[in-house]
Amino acid sequence: MYRTKTCGELRLSDVGSEVTLAGWVQRLRKMGGMTFIDLRDRYGITQLVFDEAKQAELCERANKLGREYVVQVTGTVSERYNKNPQLPTGDIEIVVTALTVLNASEVPPFTIEDHTDGGDDLRMKYRYLDLRRQCVRANLELRHRVCLEVRRFLDSKGFLEIETPILVGSTPEGARDFVVPSRMNPGQFYALPQSPQTLKQLLMVAGVDRYFQIAKCFRDEDLRADRQPEFTQIDCEMSFVEQNDIITLFEEMAVYLFKTIRGCDLPTPFLRLSWDEAMRRFGSDKPDMRFGMEFVELMDVLKGTGDFAVFNEAKYIGGICAEGCASYTRKQLDQLTDFVKSPQIGAKGLVYARVGEDGSVKSSVDKFYSPEVLARLKEAMNAKPGDLILIISGPDTQRARKQLCELRLEMGNRLGLRDKNKFALLWVVDFPMFEWSDEEQRLMAMHHPFTSPKPEDIPLLDTDPARVRANAYDMVCNGVEVGGGSIRIHDSQLQAKIFKILGFTPERAQAQFGFLMNAFKYGAPPHGGLAYGLDRWVSLFAGLDSIRDCIAFPKNNSGRDVMLDAPSVLEPGQLDELCLKVETKS
């Protein structure tokens, strides 16, 4: 037997018992004839002690151990003289009587402790060592618990967990596919699923009624902040449901997870905002509702009421009111201006107005506006003495709102209003069906092509498709989209029409989605579903800044696994087998 106890479980009540432990040497300290070792395993750290005076030979061998050596020790549990209240095992130590080295270790490239000296790249290269650190491992343990609770909840609601294939056909859902060449079918390729979307719909046609899967999804996108090319979804689908049924059930699931994982009670029902309203009030379809600072549209107040050409030419003028920030210095205001003018945000400038303690308004555009207009601005913004009004404008409403949204979030950060331990959940509903893509010069599905239009908007499909709203919904928490879904189309004619609006020829639609449209001919039930982003939920629960930290082996920002050194070139023999020849365009 390698061990009788783990390194995390011994307490004062065990004093006097003989135990055998196995683990890694985290630290070794020599102090006045005594050697102390912190022995670590998954469960914790236990102090070992060797007394040179009593066991010279044993102590000498202990002194030769290096960091991360794997050892087995037998000894007696004793009460510690210097207790360590930081450690659950901090009241005891093991007076060692036998030591076996199970494996040696080279000096690790960084210290394997919560506060490590290893930089990001090094930690990713040696991720298996990084994962030995308690703070990193804790995220994986949390992830495991979330999966367990998800399964428990969905099982209690009658969902069946069903696996769908990883090697599928290419069915673009908005992102690019990762493709896999087929040796047995030369020149042909599988694609990895961007999500099990069409397969779960086929399971509804198959009468499964309630399906879920903790599913790996793959999207070959340029990596934006906090995206991974492969990620995990809690993917769900239900038959004979309307939007409200889905929202109610998955709200219950969110409440259940917050209760079981974080021990907190979420107020229900969650707020529901239409996409239109979310854009108008927060400039985002995933507003962070932990704080207010809502947009106020100022076209009436500032356009055409003074000589400021920028506002007079604008299609949108909007402001936010930062409470108590009138005392911002010139330097702070310059920083904010630089922030909104940075290439990522792209605003042309920032207009500000300070409300003095006497209620007077001093703005950066004073010379263009009469005191009456500025007073109206203050009133429209509901600004109090001591407040700072920040205004963004532009020729494109959507873009200007996005810029103001970034500014709002930045102010939220500066004012400490985005507390990680506070959770503000809401649903955003009534998304537009389509959005215009400048790049592709066509309408694209905002959610995916299988989403149904709102019944009352169906006539608009023929006349003004851009105005059609979808039966689509997102769950948002703290400004992050944590899940989203829709009621699907279950009628092959309507599905064909949507493909047409999306620019598919009937032949291409048939070639790519024929299997789905055919299935719809055989009695497809009304159905809908949703997918939660597992990585995002876990990071939220753990208070992590990046989803990377809750993934055992993540990719870096260039989509590389630096530990496996993947992707990599293939051996010529492998390419031959696949009947492939690689020519890279430079």
Dihedral sign from CA coordinates of 539, 545, 547, 548: negative
229 binds ligand ASP (CB under 6 A): no
CA distances from 526 to 488, 529, 584 (A): 7, 11, 46
Residue ranges in 532-561 that form contacts with ligand ASP under rule CB under 6 A: none
Stretch that binds ligand ASP, among 132-140, 277-285, 309-317, 528-536 (CB under 6 A): 528-536
User: Smaller CB distance to ligand ASP: residue 59 or 428?
Assistant: 428
Dihedral sign from CA coordinates of 234, 502, 494, 202: negative
x/- string (CB under 6 A) for ligand ASP, residues 452-491? --------------------------------xxx-----
What is the closest distance, in whole angstroms, from the C-beta atom of residue 224 to ligand ASP in the complex? 16
What is the closest distance, in whole angstroms, from the C-beta atom of residue 205 to ligand ASP in the complex? 16
What is the closest distance, in whole angstroms, from the C-beta atom of residue 400 to ligand ASP in the complex? 28
State both tokens at 150: 């998800």
> Among 234, 374, 424, 531, which residue sits at the site for ligand ASP (rule: CB under 6 A)?
531
User: Smaller CB distance to ligand ASP: residue 197 or 393?
Assistant: 197
What is the closest distance, in whole angstroms, from the C-beta atom of residue 244 to ligand ASP in the complex? 16
CA distances from 202 to 174, 358, 522, 541 (A): 20, 67, 11, 33
Stretch that binds ligand ASP, among 104-112, 381-389, 456-464, 526-534 (CB under 6 A): 526-534
Residue ranges in 398-457 that form contacts with ligand ASP under rule CB under 6 A: 448
What is the closest distance, in whole angstroms, from the C-beta atom of residue 211 to ligand ASP in the complex? 11
Beta strands, E only, 329-471 = 351-355, 361-363, 388-394, 425-429, 434-437, 442-445
99 beta partners = 73
What's the rounded Cα separation, in Å, for the pair 414 and 325?
Answer: 11
Pairing outcome for strands 425-429 and 230-239: unpaired
What's the rounded Cα separation, in Å, for the pair 480 and 546?
Answer: 12
Stretch that binds ligand ASP, among 84-92, 122-130, 276-284, 529-537 (CB under 6 A): 529-537
State both tokens at 223: 């990596």
Q: Who contacts 329 (Cβ-Cβ below 8 Å, separation ≥6)?
A: none
What is the closest distance, in whole angstroms, from the C-beta atom of residue 113 to ligand ASP in the complex? 38
Residue ranges in 193-222 that form contacts with ligand ASP under rule CB under 6 A: 195, 197
Stretch that binds ligand ASP, among 12-20, 47-55, 359-367, 523-531 (CB under 6 A): 523-531
DSSP-derived secondary structure for 32-56: TTEEEEEEEETTEEEEEEEETTT-H
User: Smaller CB distance to ligand ASP: residue 47 or 201?
Assistant: 201
Stated length of the chain? 586
529 binds ligand ASP (CB under 6 A): yes
397 binds ligand ASP (CB under 6 A): no
Beta strands, E only, 32-181 = 34-41, 44-51, 70-79, 92-103, 160-161, 179-181
Residue with tokens 């969902």: 159
Span between the terminal Cα atoms of the chain, in Å: 58
> Among 475, 530, 540, 544, which residue sits at the site for ligand ASP (rule: CB under 6 A)?
530
Rg of the chain on CA atoms, in Å: 30
Say how many residues touch ligand ASP, by CB under 6 A. Answer: 9
State both tokens at 8: 């995390």
What is the closest distance, in whole angstroms, from the C-beta atom of residue 77 to ligand ASP in the complex? 52
86 beta partners = none
User: Smaller CB distance to ligand ASP: residue 25 or 445?
Assistant: 445
Contacts with ligand ASP, residue ranges (CB under 6 A): 195, 197, 448, 484-486, 529-531
